[in-house]
Structure 1
Amino acid sequence: MKLILQFLKPHRRLCVFTTLFMELDMVGMMLIPTYAAEMLNKGSSAETGFNALVNTGMKMLAASVIAGVGAIVGGYVCAKLAARVGADIRKAIYKKSLDLSVYDFQTFGTASMTTRTVSDIVTVQFAVVGIFQMMLPVPVIFTAAVILSFMKDPLIGAVLLAVLTIIVAVAFFIMRSASPLFRRLQGLLDKMSTVLLENITGVRVVRAFNKQEYETERLNATFRDYKVTSVKANRMFAGLDGLTNFSINLFVVLVYWISGSRIVSGVFGVGDITAIIEYSIMALFSVLMAQMVILSFPRAMECLNRIDEVLSYTPQISNKTESDVPLTDGENVLAFENVSFRYADSDEYTLQGLDFVCKKGQTTAVIGGTGSGKSTVASLMLRFNDVTDGRITLCGADIRDMPQKQLRESISYVQQRAWLFSGTVAENLRYGNKNASEEELMHALDIAQAGDFVRALPDGLNSYVAQGGTNFSGGQKQRLSIARAIVKNPQLYIFDDSFSALDFKTDAALRKALIKEKSDKVIVIIAQRVSSIQHADQIIVLNEGKPVGIGKHEELLKTCEVYKEIYDSQTKEADEI
């Protein structure tokens, strides 16, 4: 509850208005039976004049208007409150997700994060509406109905209090018993999302291996688990429904039975018995409304706990300061100083003893076999992960002392798997520099060897890009991603196997244009193809996470056995082709 109060606090005014108008609705509703009783008692008396009945009728009308205004305005303000709270929680989760490292994100999982950001927050929003529209008015109706019933007849008031107490006690017991089931339901919902996401994104693999039936059964298994647990939870609440309806009908019968002799003896008027029944039914139905909210409480509380898990999670990587740190304008732009890295859940180093300097105007290449730690180098430069030992400096500053915003504004990164966002070509290119002109965009496209095919598109720079760039080929996506990095124009460029989908001619032309254009920048190329990096100023060769050679292409062919093996194997493959 502490978490939801934290998000309700900025909207105190809306909370107060919602409460006031909902209570106004309750006051109007409670007045109507009183005036109805008054009218019936006056109407059954021959001495009552027409004007007296009209006055009572006008009071009833006024009470109805009060109740109507309270319900309409209260409902509107409550919906507004729930929408704002939901928006605030989504913003908080999204902001938190941006601070999570790759390892942190894997702790929760993509499907779980999606569920927590969408489904869980909707559940919490419904709970907020339920609390203000149904739960808060309940104590008022409950208390007023019991007091007014006691005022009319203590015995009937005692019966009403006993019935209400039993219903509330049973509801509380069921809510506590159902909490573990709803916790399991949310976990199963994550599992369903994971399986669905895997099947949608991997549909080609599923079809290629003819695994449709297997995946269908796997999906059905998760649906069955969810159904069984959901039925168990709903069965518990089904009994509460029956108990409440039975209690309402039983109470009405008891009221009529108790009141019969009192009406005969003249203690009660016809209006009094009507008022008592109205009060009682109103109180019982308020408990019924509260029961509907109670139904969602265990799930809402579990959703809040899951949201709190994300918001209270301490990221592995955090900013020491939000202020930019001073950077030197020297020749040494990037330096790895005896850097080693291992994942938090591993005892073995992924990268060990890496030591090199990237100077202004230099192209540095990193090469090695599969699993040698090449992509880890890029991850550490961008501070997606923090070094375990040693340090990395950018323009003289330890990147751990830099705000992540300042660090990443100084770097353009093109990842191994090219990714484009839905929108237009121009919007994707301006991702790192929103003020770039069309001339700058086309210049970057020409460097990336993408200018010709973009000009050939029906709408040029305004051509549509599907999510993930699925309407472009692998090579086109890579070139557009490279152009996007060029438009940003930072100090440091990192290309993580970003030329793998390009043919040799395009690869060579792109690298030549890039190095010529960015002669005052630092370029780091991570690759598996020797042809992509053989003209680099320095090449770092990794083997099983350790540097086994640093130098130029010709030097490494003579001094580094691992590099020579890579070169020979690729040259042999090329000759065979």
Structure 2
Amino acid sequence: MRLLLRFLRPHKKLVAITLLVVLLDNTGTLLVPTMLANMVNTGIATGDFNHIVQGGALMLGASMLASGGAITGTYLAARLASNVARDIRDAIYERSLAFSNSDFERFGTGSMITRSLNDMNVVQQSIIATIQMVLPLPFLCIVGIFMACLIDWQMGMLLAAVTAVVMVIAVVTIVNAAPIFMRLQKLIDRMNVVLRESIIGVRVIRAFTKERHEERRLDEVFSDYASSAIKVNMMFAGVDAASFFLMNIAEVAVLWLGGNRVGAHAMEIASISAVLEYAMLILFYIMAAQMVALTLPRAKACLDRASEVVDLVPEIRDGADAACAAKGAAADARGNEAVAAFDHATFKFSDADEDTLHDLNFTCRRGQTTAIIGSTGSGKSTVAKLLLRFHDVTDGSVSFCDADVRAMTQESLRDRIAYVPQKAWLFSGTVASNLRFGNEGATEDEMRHALEVAQAGFVDELPDGLQARVAQGGTNFSGGQRQRLSIARALMKHADLYIFDDSFSALDFKTDAALRRALVDETRDAAVLIIAQRISTILHADQIVVLKDGVVVGLGTHEELMRDCAVYRAIADSQMKGGAGDDQR
């Protein structure tokens, strides 16, 4: 609830106006029965036409007040709920941008989507329903019973007793419903995860003829959700039946007691209709409010889930900004300036028993290419993540332009690094819009130059060129084309450090060689870090770092490592033999 109050606070004026309009709506609604009874008891009974006209005019005014309040209140409640849900969604997204990989993995992609979309829709609808059905209930009950007591105290007491019984039933039902709604939200998360896996991995499922297995897995998840949903619906049905039963009992009781009170000349006959209207009005709102209240535990669960994200303190936090020295013309004078340096850097995941990387010592210098090679799982990609501060070292330090990366803001650090991830990812839009991720103000000539360096000439052959459509993830391009477009996007950025995380793996040897030759001139004023699996990609690097189980076991040029590093030599020999075999075939 603290999260909800926090996001309602910026809209306090809208909250106040909405509540005032709802109050006017309820006031007009409560005035009509008494006005009608008074008009019948006095105007019609005495034949006073002027009294009837005056009473009718007052009833019309009260009805217009109620109708206008209802329409305006509905609009204002919808606007308030939409604004609050939008703000919470924005907060969830902004917080997720600050998460490290470990932070994000605590929730998972499927859960984050559910929390941002489905959960916020539940919260939004609950806010609207609460304003319209739950908040007016205390006012309607108190004022309605009070006005019934003014007509006849026994009728007022009867109405109070019926209201109390219905309220007790509602509270008991809500308490029992809360755990089921909590379970429903977790099941929605699970459904989201399983569906995403089945849709994204459909080709693998078909390739291994696992369609029936996936059908059973989906059926199990859907059945669990259906079982809980049926319990909730049965509860709704029971509450609905009980409420209508009590409304009918209350109606009979009011007519019976009212008839006796009229016979005893304790009240007038038209007053029975007024009390009956108050009874139906109060009981209708109680019934509607308990229906809404049954969904409030689910809304609270959604808010709690959103709060888990918004209130999580990120593992990676900004330090005071330490600016890098100016680039541009002074770059040549700096020569081999150290851009990135690992000083006895060690890293271990929070849930791991051993270090992922241990005691790393090497430097990436301006104008030079540093390469990292090693077997799968040796920690190569983690090195790039440490430079980008997706993780922080657990011991030692990583510096960028002579400043510890932990003392820099994440924005200023990443603004000076161009990164091509291991899995090339493109965003839905156009080729141009993807390239402008690296430079928002890029001209068409600059984009074409980046594409030329990245060996992405195929873009010019597309019917729409730079305006060619890109599907989500770039699925309408081949793996090699996606990699080249990702490289071009990175080259749009004038950075101090270019990181290529196994970014040439989908390229043929000819394209790989042409791209590396073109990169030499393009990145001459920056440091380059290449993480690779293929020896051929890094043969001409100025220094090669060889990793084995997170430890540097070799550092030097290709020739030096072939002479002094057994691990590197084994990798080279295995790839050269594989290449020879390929040639023979």
Alignment of 1:65-84 (within 5 A): 65-84=64-83
Q: 1:558 aligns with which of 557, 563, 581?
A: 563
**Inter-partner Cα distance in structure 2 for 1:345 and 1:240:** 47
Deviation (angstroms), 1:543: 0.9
Deviation (angstroms), 1:470: 0.7
Partner of 1:25: 25
**Inter-partner Cα distance in structure 1 for 2:465 and 2:157:** 80
Partner of 1:487: 492
Partner of 1:59: 58
Alignment of 1:258-337 (within 5 A): 258-321=257-320, 324-328=321-325, 331-337=337-343
Deviation (angstroms), 1:15: 0.4
2:152·2:267 contact (CA, 8 Å) conserved in 1? no
Q: 2:382 aligns with which of 376, 397, 401?
A: 376
Q: 1:392 aligns with which of 389, 395, 398?
A: 398
Q: 1:414 aligns with which of 420, 439, 448?
A: 420
Between 139-148 and 173-182, the greater mean CA deviation after superposition: 173-182
**Inter-partner Cα distance in structure 1 for 2:561 and 2:364:** 18
Partner of 2:12: 12
1:457 partner amino acid: L
The question of 1:512 aligning with 2:517 is answered yes
Deviation (angstroms), 1:151: 1.6
The question of 1:478 aligning with 2:483 is answered yes
Alignment of 1:342-381 (within 5 A): 342-381=348-387
Partner of 1:138: 137
The question of 1:443 aligning with 2:443 is answered no
Deviation (angstroms), 1:44: 4.2
Q: Which runs of 5+ in 2 are unaligned?
A: 327-333
2:103 partner amino acid: D
2:44·2:52 contact (CA, 8 Å) conserved in 1? no
2:173·2:294 contact (CA, 8 Å) conserved in 1? no
1:336·1:392 contact (CA, 8 Å) conserved in 2? yes
**Inter-partner Cα distance in structure 2 for 1:476 and 1:368:** 25
Deviation (angstroms), 1:132: 1.2
1:382·1:407 contact (CA, 8 Å) conserved in 2? yes
Partner of 1:526: 531
The question of 1:543 aligning with 2:548 is answered yes
1:271-304 Cα offsets, whole Å, 9 max, x none, are 1111110111111111112112112111011111
Deviation (angstroms), 1:43: 4.9
**Inter-partner Cα distance in structure 1 for 2:54 and 2:154:** 32
Partner of 1:107: 106
Q: 1:500 aligns with which of 485, 501, 505?
A: 505
1:230 partner amino acid: A
Partner of 1:426: 432
**Inter-partner Cα distance in structure 2 for 1:525 and 1:218:** 41
**Inter-partner Cα distance in structure 2 for 1:530 and 1:2:** 56
**Inter-partner Cα distance in structure 2 for 1:320 and 1:484:** 28
Deviation (angstroms), 1:39: 2.1
Secondary structure of 2:102 counterpart: helix
The question of 1:221 aligning with 2:227 is answered no
1:24 partner amino acid: L
1:415·1:495 contact (CA, 8 Å) conserved in 2? yes
Alignment of 1:130-209 (within 5 A): 130-209=129-208
Deviation (angstroms), 1:328: 4.2
Deviation (angstroms), 1:107: 0.7
Secondary structure of 1:183 counterpart: helix
Between 190-199 and 173-182, the greater mean CA deviation after superposition: 173-182
Secondary structure of 1:367 counterpart: strand
Between 30-39 and 329-338, the greater mean CA deviation after superposition: 329-338
Partner of 2:330: none
Secondary structure of 2:422 counterpart: coil
Secondary structure of 2:75 counterpart: helix
**Inter-partner Cα distance in structure 1 for 2:28 and 2:218:** 52
Secondary structure of 2:477 counterpart: coil
Secondary structure of 1:113 counterpart: helix
Deviation (angstroms), 1:335: 0.4
**Inter-partner Cα distance in structure 1 for 2:355 and 2:325:** 31
Secondary structure of 1:94 counterpart: helix
2:181·2:297 contact (CA, 8 Å) conserved in 1? yes
TM-score, normalising length: structure 2: 0.96
The question of 1:464 aligning with 2:466 is answered no
**Inter-partner Cα distance in structure 2 for 1:256 and 1:455:** 84
Deviation (angstroms), 1:319: 1.2
1:10-66 Cα offsets, whole Å, 9 max, x none, are 001110111011111101111111111122213542x32222211111111111110
Secondary structure of 2:106 counterpart: helix
Deviation (angstroms), 1:381: 0.9
2:119·2:299 contact (CA, 8 Å) conserved in 1? yes
**Inter-partner Cα distance in structure 1 for 2:86 and 2:508:** 46
Deviation (angstroms), 1:463: 0.7
**Inter-partner Cα distance in structure 1 for 2:56 and 2:325:** 84
Root-mean-square deviation (CA, aligned residues, Å) is 1.1
**Inter-partner Cα distance in structure 2 for 1:224 and 1:73:** 42
Partner of 2:331: none
Deviation (angstroms), 1:255: 1.1
Deviation (angstroms), 1:234: 2.9
Secondary structure of 2:406 counterpart: coil
**Inter-partner Cα distance in structure 2 for 1:173 and 1:401:** 55
Deviation (angstroms), 1:432: 1.9
**Inter-partner Cα distance in structure 2 for 1:280 and 1:85:** 34
Partner of 2:119: 120
Secondary structure of 1:129 counterpart: helix
Secondary structure of 1:213 counterpart: helix
**Inter-partner Cα distance in structure 1 for 2:108 and 2:523:** 38
Secondary structure of 1:481 counterpart: helix
1:33·1:274 contact (CA, 8 Å) conserved in 2? yes
2:24 partner amino acid: L
**Inter-partner Cα distance in structure 1 for 2:134 and 2:264:** 39
1:101-152 Cα offsets, whole Å, 9 max, x none, are 1111111011111100001111111111122111111111111111111122
Count of aligned pairs: 573
Deviation (angstroms), 1:393: 0.4
Deviation (angstroms), 1:179: 1.3
**Inter-partner Cα distance in structure 1 for 2:119 and 2:213:** 30
1:18 partner amino acid: T
1:298-354 Cα offsets, whole Å, 9 max, x none, are 101111111111111122111134xx3133465111100011111001110111111
2:181·2:295 contact (CA, 8 Å) conserved in 1? no
**Inter-partner Cα distance in structure 2 for 1:557 and 1:516:** 27
1:328·1:396 contact (CA, 8 Å) conserved in 2? no
After TM superposition, the runs of 4+ consecutive aligned structure 1 residues lying more than 6 A away are none
1:444·1:484 contact (CA, 8 Å) conserved in 2? yes
Q: Quick one: percent identity of the two aligned structures?
A: 50
2:374·2:533 contact (CA, 8 Å) conserved in 1? yes
